[in-house]
Structure 1
């Protein structure tokens, strides 16, 4: 499969099986993602694997910061349990007179997207999830983020279901977004 076919065939998998790549299986994908264009070669990012009870702790942090109770809190707390592996994408802001924080965020987001493509190509179902909770105090504390770090979101990773619906991606008209001066 060509790179363009792999990229064009990528789609989000909101429902995945309980299977997930091991730490060892992730390492070559992370190494490949590190080849991303990186202003100043700062590598202003890191990834955090959340498995097992770490997902429960994340759910508790999500519910706490959402300020919900009862069934709503249970729903919120269950969100990280949708996949057995969550990869937190973290932007690590490093001092640089040449590279601003927003450019470092772009690199971290690029690594997140590359990881989703690499995981897809490796046969895993992936969906990037974020939301206002990525910036809340409890979620930051749960991930043990440093003051110079920002959570960009999570890749929910798992096995693909056997009976997936055919891809219904709509044809994209590139002429609408590609212009010349």
Structure 2
């Protein structure tokens, strides 16, 4: 197999990471490469928002506000974005187009997120893509400064891979089950 197939096949999600994280400068070439995803009409209907430090705490406060949480529940919900030192919010930016429907633009943004997660994994970082109802919450949208034509698809939580990490590998899929041939 090729190096690329091996790298993709070894990808896994890391729910626990260390406080190490790629720098802004280290992210730039990875985002540039992820931007090469198939993109009908070259609309580039996506952007990535980098959240570090206090931005993660502000996101946690938006999570708690959305959940109308108080006391220990609010603290627990607000701590979720602190699980990794770097969060990359994946945003679909829908552009009016006669040729490219909104769902296809969302698919492009999703493709960028997935390729970026593969590139981060290949660079030695632990990554997990987190989604959930918070992606649709008004407080969370406001915190990210999203415009009316933007949709939050989730966050890549990024950090160092802990020594001796025993994150589980996914089982390899049976390709015959998912690949059909039309005669």
> TM-score when scaled to structure 1?
0.97
Moved over 2 A (4+): 166-169
Cα distance in 1 between the residues matched to 2:157 and 2:93: 21
> Structure 2: where are the runs of 5+ without partners?
none
> What stretches of structure 1 of length at least 5 have no aligned partner?
none
| Mapping for residues 109-148 of structure 1, pairs under 5 Å | 109-148=110-149
CA displacement 1:118-156 (0-9 Å, x = unmatched): 000000000000101101100000000000000000000
Cα-to-partner distance string for 1:61-112 (whole Å, 9 max, x where unaligned) = 0011012221111110000000010000000001111000100000000000
Q: What TM-score results when the alignment is normalised by the length of structure 2?
A: 0.96
What aligned pairs does 1:1-181 form with structure 2 within 5 A after superposition?
2-165=3-166, 167-181=168-182
Distance in 2 separating the partners of 1:128 and 1:79: 13
CA distance in 1, matches of 2:71, 2:39: 45
The answer to which of 12-21 and 167-176 deviates more is 167-176
| Secondary structure, aligned partner of 1:126 | strand
Structure 1 residue 43: Cα displacement: 0.2
SS of match in other structure, 1:128: strand
Report the count of equivalent residues: 181
RMSD: 1.1
Deviation at 1:169, TM superposition (A): 2.4
Please say if residues 17 and 161 of structure 2, whose CA atoms lie closer than 8 Å, have aligned partners that are also in contact. Answer: yes
Give the deviation of 1:168 after TM superposition: 3.4
Return the alpha-carbon distance in structure 2 between the equivalents of residues 84 and 168 of structure 1: 23
